[in-house]
Amino acid sequence: MLHSSQRDNLSRTKISRKAHFSRVTEVVECRQMCWNLHRMQHICSRYATKILICIGHFSVEILGNVLFFV
C-alpha cells in the first residue's frame, strides 16, 4: 500500500512526465514549422529565379527583334 508521500511523489512524477512530453511536443512542432517554412522559401526562391531567367530571355528576344527591325 502506498503512503501519502509516495502517492504524491508518484503523481508529481506523472505530471512532470506529462509536462516534459508537452514541451518536447511543442519543440518538435516548432522545428517542423521552421523546416516547412525553410522548404517553402527554397521552393519559392527556385521558381522566382526560373521566372526571372524566363523573363530575361524573352525580354532579350523581344528587344533583339525590335532592334533588328529598326
> Averaged over 24-46, what is the pLDDT?
80
Whether residue 56 has pLDDT greater than 70: yes
Q: What is the total residue count of the chain? A: 70
Cα–Cα distance, 70 to 67 (Å, whole number): 5
> Averaged over 35-48, what is the pLDDT?
80
Whether residue 25 has pLDDT greater than 60: yes
Beta-carbon contacts of 2 under 8 Å, excluding residues fewer than 6 positions away, are 10
What does pTM read for this prediction? 0.37
Cα–Cα distance, 29 to 16 (Å, whole number): 20
